[in-house]
Amino acid sequence: MEKIAMTTPLVEMDGDEMTRVLWQMIKDELLLPFIDLKTEYYDLGLKNRNDTDDRVTVESAEATLRLGVAVKCATITPNAARVDEFKLRKMYKSPNGTIRAILNGTVFRTPIIVKGISPCVGGWKEPITIARHAYGDVYQNVEEKVSAGDKAELVITHADGTKEVRLIHDFAEGDGIVQSVHNMNSSIESFARSCFNYALDQKKDLWFGAKDTISKQYDHTFKDIFAEVFEKEYKDKFKDAGIEYFYSLIDDIVARIMKSKGGMIWACKNYDGDVMSDMISSAFGSLAMMTSVLVSPSGVYEFEAAHGTVQRHYYKHLAGEETSTNSVATIFAWTGALRKRGELDGINALVKFANKLELATTLTIEEGKMTKDLAMITSFSDTVTLNSHDFIRAVRKTLENLI
Ligand code: NAP
Ligand code: MG
């Protein structure tokens, strides 16, 4: 069989621990035999980040802006224990944070649905994609504990030096707490554009909720900016695509989501997205079955699995023990990137291959062959639990039958 040719390379960001092991297996078993794979390779493994003083992370993000599509393996975000373990020169920032700041993007997380692993919510038939705004609010807050007799005020110093002071609370009665948060119109606009673009890309409805009735300035600004950007730039495109933008109060959105059959993209403010994405992933079954894509407002894509490096499994692997680590989300990161590359470069064979590999992956599970994490939660009774490598080999077999 002739291998599928590529024109533009993908940005390939290698990573750490167990997912780095899966990464190589996926390439060897599922990609290289079928595709004349072209990638620009960046090693984001922690050792190389330390060796390059984290330049490699910045360079991989810049390459993504240049080439348009990246696929990323999970990476370690260093903490104090990792600084000791890897003898790091410093506690480097999260690579995902660094990449997101350079691409100025929004993260969309979507569960992978297979028969035999049913969502907790019976009515959900299609995946729900969560889009989380990743700037401001409580994540960049300023907060204080205050004592009885203190007075908390909001002070705005205007450009001309004049001050506007508003009372937040007079703590005459006793001790308390106070917090201030901010956001930027430009960031909200970028978020809105990323969401509208991704909805058009996926041909799915976009829902957004905030608490504008209570927060008449702050949350209302989110609502207004979304409405304005939609009206000016997207209304006609949505109409042509046959999709809808729907805004409502966040509590109404939550209630409607529970009763929906799924299939929409749900844009969330930073905190709502933090909380709701964990709810959605556990309700759909498993973090190991969740894909993630970072989309910039200019239309650059970076695909990855939503889970981490699965450290516990890696230490078993290093000790020579068998592992049964789920590679599905990492396979889907590759298929997402290959499909997007194929679409952008007009290589239909690449798009078809990505679709077939996804189908082969879900079919393999639906035939009862799966890793341990899924075997523990499936409704199927006669399943075969496979180790990390054998699962990928089983997908290869299914794929060969499809091709
Ligand atoms: P994790 O790697 O997501 O794993 C947590 C646990 O979830 C695992 O121990 C395993 O449970 C289960 N799990 C996750 N993915 C799985 C898979 N593919 N197959 C089977 N089970 C899976 O999170 P973590 O252990 O908190 O973090 C490890 C490292 O990953 C950290 O250094 C963190 O900084 C990094 N991280 C990176 C990213 C990213 O690059 N996007 C995201 C999150 C975390 P059992 O042990 O019970 O089997
Ligand atoms: Mg969270």
Give the separation between CA 75 and CA 92, rounded to whole angstroms.
12
Q: What is the mean pLDDT of residues 178-196?
A: 95
**Distance from residue 137's CA to the centre of ligand 1 (Å):** 26
> Do residues 21 and 48 touch, judged by C-beta distance below 8 A?
no
Q: What digits encode the pLDDT tens for the residues 209-263? A: 999 999 999 999 999 999 999 999 999 999 999 999 999 999 999 999 999 999 9
| C-alpha 369 to ligand 2 mean position (Å) | 30
pTM: 0.92
Q: How far is the CA of 160 from the centre of ligand 2 (A)?
A: 41
Atom of ligand 1 nearest to the CA of 74: 40
Q: Is the CB of 299 under 6 A from ligand 1?
A: no
> Which ligand minimizes its atom distance to the CA of 287?
1
Measure 273 CA to ligand 2 centroid, in angstroms.
8
Q: Taking residues 109-127, report their average pLDDT.
A: 93
Q: Find the ligand nearest to 279 CA.
A: 2
> d(Cα 62, Cα 66) in Å, to the nearest integer?
6
Nearest CA to ligand 1 atom 38: 308
**Largest CA-CA distance found in the chain, in angstroms, rounded:** 80
Query: Which ligand is in closest contact with the Cα of 385?
Result: 1
Residues facing residue 332 across a β-bridge? none
Q: Are the C-beta atoms of 266 and 133 separated by less than 8 Å?
A: no
Whether the pLDDT of residue 1 is over 80: the answer is no
Q: Establish whether residue 288 lines the binding site of ligand 1, counting it when its CB lies within 6 angstroms of any ligand atom.
A: yes
Amino acid at 17: E
Q: Do the domains at 1-117+286-403 and 118-140+182-284 have one common CATH topology?
A: yes
Could you identify the atom of ligand 1 that is nearest to the CA of residue 310?
2
pLDDT at 298: 84
Q: Is the CB of 354 under 6 A from ligand 1?
A: no
d(CA 92, CA 199): 34
pLDDT band at 126 (very low <50, low <70, confident <90, very high): very high
Nearest partner of 288 among 338, 337, 330, judged by Cα: 330
Give the mean model confidence (pLDDT) for residues 313-342. Answer: 98
Q: CB-based contacts of 185: which residues, under 8 Å, 6+ apart?
A: 221, 225
Cα–ligand 1 centroid distance for 309 (angstroms): 5
The answer, yes or no, to whether any atom of ligand 1 lies below 6 A from the CB of 96, is yes
Name the token pair of 53.
Answer: 């003083």
Asked which of 25-34, 127-136, 228-237 is least confident by mean pLDDT, the reply is 127-136
Residue 56: helix, strand or coil by DSSP? helix
Q: Is any atom of ligand 1 closer than 6 Å to the C-beta of 57? A: no
> In degrees, to the nearest 5, what angle opens at C-alpha 139 toward C-alphas 19 and 278?
45
Question: Are the C-beta atoms of 227 and 192 separated by less than 8 Å?
Answer: no
| Measured distance CA(40)–CA(59) in Å, rounded | 11
- Candidates 3.40.50.280, 3.40.50.300, 3.40.718.10, 3.40.50.12780; correct CATH number of 118-140+182-284? 3.40.718.10
- Angle at CA 353, nearest 5°, toward 28 and 204? 120
Dig out the tokens for 389 from the structure.
């490598």
Q: Tell me which residue has its CA closest to atom 12 in ligand 1.
A: 310
Length of the chain: 403
**What is the mean predicted confidence (pLDDT) over 260-280?**
94
Ligand 1 contact, 64 CB (< 6 A): no
pLDDT score for 304: 96
> Which CATH number is 1-117+286-403 given?
3.40.718.10
H-assigned helices in 327-381: 328-345, 348-366, 372-375
Residue among 295, 317, 373, 294 nearest 16 (CA): 317
Let me know if 1 is exposed, middle or buried by CB neighbors in 10 A (0-12, 13-18, 19+): exposed
Ligand 1 site-directed mutation target among 307, 313, 377, 378, most atoms within 8 Å of CB: 307
So where are the chain's domains? 1-117+286-403, 118-140+182-284, 142-180
Pairing of strands 69-72, 142-146: unpaired
Angle between helical axes of 388-402 and 348-366 (0-180°, round to 10)? 120
Q: What is the mean pLDDT of residues 318-343?
A: 98
**Smallest CA separation from ligand 1 atom 1, residue:** 308
**CA-based Rg of the chain, rounded to a whole angstrom?**
23
Return the ligand 1 atom nearest residue 325 CA: 19
